[in-house]
A and B are shown apart, each in its own frame.
Chain A
Amino acid sequence: MTDWIIKFLMLTSSIFILLAAVGVLRLPDLLTRMHASTKAGALGITLMMLAASFHFFDSVVMAKSLAVIIFILITAPVAAHAIGRAGYFVGVPVWTKTVKDELINCYDPKSHRLMSGLETEEELEIYRQNLDFKPRIRVKRKDPAE
């Protein structure tokens, strides 16, 4: 019985990872490729670790594989978010059939701050005055004279 569960989990895991790989190869731009790789890859690792914990059926190994699963489920979205954000700033072209890009005029390329696009002129003026007040991310090298 347990044997069949392990076989099923291993095969499902490998097929999901194959799906992620095919998605990374075939999809048209960076964001869709990330959408394929992150979710299917995380599910593939989860199923493989479940298979390992069923195979060994030991509390220590189960705790370790559960730790791997939780770690993957926490870090995969964080890493995908970081890469997607970096790719957007670098200017990776989106797919030509993309319907909507809501961020296209809302990001300040210098300070990397997000605006809503609905600011009044006074708010924009306050923003421009405080541009070097508290940067979210340091984009230029710190001046050694300061």
Chain B
Amino acid sequence: MQFVIYLTFAILSLSMIIIFVRLIMGPTLPDRVVALELLASVIVAMIGAYAIYTDTSSFIDVAIVAALTAFLAAIGFARFLERGGPRDD
């Protein structure tokens, strides 16, 4: 069980690194927003894995809040882009 949890953390960290590469490379601002949204998904999954690892069920609440914040950030960025704020890719 312990080995599988460590393997899960390793794979999730690897995907975080890959997403960071896209976040830095991303040619336009919407690409970076997509990368940030996926990064929030990885964080929610990582919180779930950490709740299993530490056997603490309260971390599920943190996952709820993290998902909510990620959704609000994505909607805010989309509104900002569509209303035409100052942009510097």
Contact = CB atoms under 8 A, between A and B. Distances in A.
Contact of A52 (B38, B60, B78, B79): B60
Given A45-B45, A48-B48, A48-B49, A75 B81 contact: no
Contacts, number: 173
Interface of B is mostly: helix
A53 B71 CA distance: 23
A86 B78 CA distance: 6
Interface of A is mostly: helix
Interface string B28-52: 1111011101100110110011011
B69 to A, nearest CB: 11
Interface size of B as a range: 35 or more
Contact of A71 (B34, B37, B42, B67): B67
Interface of B: 1, 4-5, 7-8, 11-12, 14-16, 18-19, 21-22, 28-31, 33-35, 37-38, 41-42, 44-45, 48-49, 51-52, 55, 57, 60-61, 63-64, 67-68, 70-71, 74-75, 77-79, 81-84, 87
Interface of A: 3, 6-7, 10-11, 13-15, 17-18, 20-22, 24-25, 30, 33-34, 37, 41-42, 44-45, 48-49, 51-52, 55-56, 58, 60-61, 64-65, 67-68, 71-72, 75, 78-79, 82-83, 85-87, 89-90, 92, 112, 137-139
